[in-house]
Structures are given as C-alpha cells and as structure tokens.
C-alpha cells in the first residue's frame, strides 16, 4: 500500500480529533509557510534590526508610521534609560532620535500610546493601566510637539481614530473624571485648524462596559466593548451585534474585511454579523490573554501576537498566529524576541513591511522571501549577536490512515522530497490502538538531498504520524511532501458473530 502527501494546503488546525483531521492540514505548523508557494512548505524567514537601539532593555509602548505630505516618519514611544519618563523617538536615517517633549510626559512611563494622523499632524493619546493614569494629549508636525496646537479643549483618551473629516476619541478622561463609555469627536477643520467642543460633540454607549477599541470600514465608525459592537455613520449610532473585542490593537482592516480578537476567537466582519475564523487555532486563543494581544496586516496576512501560551501541555514562546487571507489558512511562529508593538511601514520602494518593537528596546523588520537579502535568523544585527538567533520550524502532519481502521499496518519505507533540504529532521510515531495515549516519536533521518529514501523502523499501528523539525540559522528549506509504503499485518478488531 502506498500513501502520498503532497498537498498541504489547508493550514494548521489544532482543534480536531485524529479521525477528523484532514490529510492536507497539519496539526501544528510552526515556523513554516505553505502559502507563499502552493504545494511547498518553506521555513519562515527571520527579522533584522532597523537603525540603532532605542533604549536598552526598555519596551516600546507605541508604534506608528506617520505619513505626512512628502514625508514619512516612524514614531516609537519608549521609557527613558532610568525608566522614569516616556520619550518619543523617530527614525532619523538609522538613528532613533528624541523629539523634544519638555516635561509633558515625565512620570508617564509605561503608558500605551495610540497615534493618528490628520491635517499633516500626528495626534497622541494613551493610558497606563498599571498606575491608572491617562497620558497628556499632544500633537506633532515635523519634529515639533505641542499640547495645544489643534488640541486645545481636546480630552485625554485611551484610543484615537480618524473617521471622515473628524478625529474621534474613545474611552475618555477629563480633569479628574473618567468617561469609559464615551466617544468624543472634534469639530470639522476650519482653515486647516482643528477645534473641539466637548460639551456637545460626544456619543455614549450603554454605561455597562467600557469601550475597548475602534476602527473604520465601510464608511462607518465602529466602536467595541468586550461583548458588543456599535456602528456610527454621523447620523445613526446604534448597537450592531453582540460580538465584542478584547483589545484595540487587534482590530485591523484589509479591503472589505475587518478583523479583531476576543476570548471566543478571531473574528472577520464585512459590516453584518461577523464570523469566527479562529477555530483552527482556538486552543491558543483560549489559553492566552486576549486583552494583551495585538495585530497587524501586511501582504494579506493577519498577524496576531499572543505571547507565551501553553497548549496541550506544550509551552509556546513569543508566539504569533498568522491568518493568510487568499488561502484562508492558519500557521504559527515562535520568535526569539518578545514583541510589544507591531507597525506597518512602507519602505522607499513602496513595499509594505512588518516592523516589530521588542523588549530589548529595538525595532526589527521582517524579512521576505523575495528580498535581495533574505535574513534567515531572528534579530540579525542585535546588540547581543551580529548573526542573530536560530529559527525553529516544526510541522506535525495529520495522522496517516492506512487502509481501514481495523487493520494494523507496518511501514516499510518513507521517501521525502525537498529542495534546500538543510538537514531537516524527520520522525514518526504511532497513535496506539485505543487512542488514549501517544507513543514517542522515533527519528527516521535527515533530509540532505532532493529525494530522500528511508527504511522505517517504527511500531505497527492503525494511525501513524510524521513530524518535520529543524532549528538553525541556515537558509530556508523547501519541503514538497512524502510518500509511505506499507503492508497490512493483522486485524485489531474481531468481527461480530
């Protein structure tokens, strides 16, 4: 009996039992990409540092690509060296340079900062959950920061977003009073200036749950509590559905789609009732803390950072869940560094990039397969190592069913096909007869060439499972699939008389 597996097209799915797992859907797909070239599994590339280090061992708390007319600035907020004040920096030709704030943000260390561009200004709001304080408001043009220009009478808030010709503040604060249910909006610009009328320009939700985020799509403003979503079109403000969002930074848009996350999963909306697309990775969502998640969309991929999580007794570190929109598939990636921010950045050639802020006080850029230089390690150019850190690729394929489920089989040979084999390790195990436990994986061998034949010495069984793993800083491998040959041994179930 021959079994072929050359179509791993459906992506990772950790939410199915072994008898339901599709043959073309791995149980775990970590550090490996099956969407860039369909019919191939490529090891994920690494990331490399942008500019110098901002602050040693400090975590970026805000990250934004500020695009002014004929000018672009990458802005990052991060604590100062002493950890007492919050600073604002921009990438000045590779040197992260402080923008003069005076004493405005002194004492507001660790505040999460949200930014929005309007009228060639960048506007700032933020909140420090540890000390329960709101960041002083501000605006920026060029490298000039102000607490009054275009923001006189503007309230403090947790989130800020532009909708049509106004700015909107979500989950607000004024003087000594918090307004967690309030959406405040600016007046329409006049002669290039922005003013605010807090006494009248506001909307309130139902005074039960605080607002946790907002976004704009379908020419509508959407605001979320943890269990509900509200829609506003500048004439109607109403509750739209009972699916909320746990974290503002998980809300991302791509064309007609809006994506966000909560404790029930990852949601995709088109304006009506949203759908939960997170079932294949649901165990990772349920075992994480969605209030701390954040996301970015680049190259039609929703990249959701969930951090450290334990699933089925396995610890995953610095974890990203990645949803590829064209193929509707999931995969995951463990990283060397702990991320605290994402930003979408357009490079000089207009190519969108993923930028990553890390707890080491650095900003990194994700490498792509079509770059002139492909970085095959994590953190290349970091202060710790000029060559970066090894990337772990791990693929646990769907259980292989040989023949009927009542007959044990013996696997005789395995042939694996790979380009740039890079010494990838193959191992195999048998799921035991009553499916109540798993036997350990046994090593089959390493891939060293295009066609790799192996004699197999594993236990006989009904369900067999192949695993591919590699941990190195080598250029990415390209795995095409495998072929098994086996023979039936004996019936494990007696027929009824």
Provide the CATH number for the domain around residue 266: 2.130.10.10
497 inside domain? no
496 inside domain? no
Question: pLDDT value at position 430?
Answer: 81
> How far is the first Cα of the chain from the last one, in angstroms, to the nearest whole number?
29
55 and 28 in one domain? no
Question: pLDDT value at position 407?
Answer: 66
Question: pLDDT value at position 290?
Answer: 98
Rounded-to-10 torsion of CA 441, 286, 158, 299 = 50
230 and 205 in one domain? yes
232 inside domain? yes
Parent domain of 251: 47-392
Question: pLDDT value at position 461?
Answer: 66
174 inside domain? yes
**Cβ burial 333-347 (10 Å sphere, 16+ → b, else e):** bbbbbebbbbbbbee
Question: pLDDT value at position 311?
Answer: 96
469 inside domain? yes
Q: Is 54 exposed, middle or buried (0-12, 13-18, 19+ CB in 10 A)?
A: buried
377 and 487 in one domain? no
107 inside domain? yes
CA distance 146 to 158: 19
269 and 156 in one domain? yes
- CB-based contacts of 97: which residues, under 8 Å, 6+ apart? 89, 90, 91
288 and 431 in one domain? no
Structure tokens at 83: 């950890």
275 and 222 in one domain? yes
477 inside domain? yes
477 and 456 in one domain? yes
Question: pLDDT value at position 435?
Answer: 47
SS3 label, residue 260: strand
CA distance 128 to 113: 9
Of 392, 420, 439, which one is at a domain's C-terminal end?
Answer: 392
Q: Which residues of the chain have pLDDT under 50?
A: 433-436, 496
CA distance 354 to 371: 13
Rounded-to-10 torsion of CA 338, 339, 345, 347 = -10
Question: pLDDT value at position 411?
Answer: 81
> By C-alpha distance, which of 127, 135, 126, 129 is closest to 106?
135
| Secondary element (H or E) of residue 425 | strand 424-431
Of 392, 414, 439, which one is at a domain's C-terminal end?
Answer: 392
Between strands 47-49 and 378-380, the pairing is: parallel
357 and 298 in one domain? yes
Question: pLDDT value at position 493?
Answer: 53
| Secondary element (H or E) of residue 134 | strand 133-134
157 and 74 in one domain? yes
Number of domains observed in the structure of the chain: 2
Of 392, 417, 441, which one is at a domain's C-terminal end?
Answer: 392
208 and 128 in one domain? yes
Q: Chain-wide mean pLDDT for the chain? A: 93
- Provide the CATH number for the domain around residue 414: 2.60.120
CA distance 150 to 194: 5
61 and 40 in one domain? no
406 and 286 in one domain? no
180 inside domain? yes
Question: pLDDT value at position 485?
Answer: 85
> In the chain, what percentage of residues exceed pLDDT 70?
94
């Amino acid at each position: 009996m021959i079994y072929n597996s050359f179509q791993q097209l459906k992506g990772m799915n950790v939410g199915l039992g072994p008898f339901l797992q599709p043959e073309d859907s791995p149980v775990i797909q970590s550090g490996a990409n099956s969407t860039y070239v369909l019919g191939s599994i490529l090891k994920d590339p690494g990331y490399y540092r942008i500019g110098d280090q901002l602050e040693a061992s400090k975590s970026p708390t805000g990250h934004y690509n500020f695009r002014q007319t004929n000018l672009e600035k990458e802005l990052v907020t991060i604590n100062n060296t002493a950890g007492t004040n919050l600073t604002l920096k921009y990438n000045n030709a590779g040197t992260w340079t402080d923008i003069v704030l005076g004493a405005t943000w002194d004492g507001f260390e660790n505040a999460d900062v949200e930014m929005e561009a309007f009228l060639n200004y960048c506007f700032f709001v933020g909140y420090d959950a540890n000390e329960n304080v709101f960041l002083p408001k501000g605006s920026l043009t060029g490298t000039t920061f102000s607490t009054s220009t275009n923001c006189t009478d503007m309230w403090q808030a947790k989130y800020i977003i532009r909708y049509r010709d106004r700015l909107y503040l979500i989950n607000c604060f004024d003087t000594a009073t918090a307004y967690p249910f309030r959406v405040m909006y600016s007046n329409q610009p006049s002669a290039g200036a922005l003013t605010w009328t807090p006494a009248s320009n506001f909307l309130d939700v139902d005074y039960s749950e605080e607002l946790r985020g907002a976004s704009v799509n379908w020419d509508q403003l959407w605001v979320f509590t943890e269990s509900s979503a509200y829609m506003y079109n500048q004439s109607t403000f109403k509750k739209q559905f009972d699916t909320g969002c746990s974290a503002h930074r998980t809300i991302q848009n791509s064309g007609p789609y809006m994506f966000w996350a909560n404790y029930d999963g990852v949601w995709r909306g088109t304006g009506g009732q949203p759908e939960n697309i997170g079932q294949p990775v649901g165990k990772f969502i349920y075992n994480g803390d969605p209030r701390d998640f954040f996301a970015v969309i680049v190259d039609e991929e929703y990249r959701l950072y969930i951090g450290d999580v334990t699933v089925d007794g396995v610890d995953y570190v610095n974890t990203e869940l990645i949803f590829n929109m064209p193929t509707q598939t999931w995969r995951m990636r463990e990283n060397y560094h702990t991320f605290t921010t994402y930003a979408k950045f357009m490079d000089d050639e207009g190519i969108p990039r993923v930028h990553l802020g890390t707890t080491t006080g650095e900003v990194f850029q994700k490498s792509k397969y079509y770059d002139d230089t492909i970085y095959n390690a994590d953190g290349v150019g970091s202060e710790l190592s000029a060559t970066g850190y090894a990337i772990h690729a791990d693929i646990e394929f769907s259980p292989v069913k040989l023949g009927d489920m009542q007959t044990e089989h013996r696997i005789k040979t395995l042939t694996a096909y790979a380009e740039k084999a890079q010494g990838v390790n193959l191992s195999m195990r048998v799921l035991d007869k009553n499916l109540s436990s798993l036997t350990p994986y046994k090593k089959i061998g390493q891939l060293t060439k295009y066609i790799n034949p192996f004699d197999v010495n594993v236990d006989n069984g009904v369900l067999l499972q192949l695993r591919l793993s590699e941990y190195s800083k080598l250029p990415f491998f390209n795995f095409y699939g495998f072929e098994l040959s086996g023979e039936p041994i004996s019936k494990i179930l007696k027929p009824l008389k």
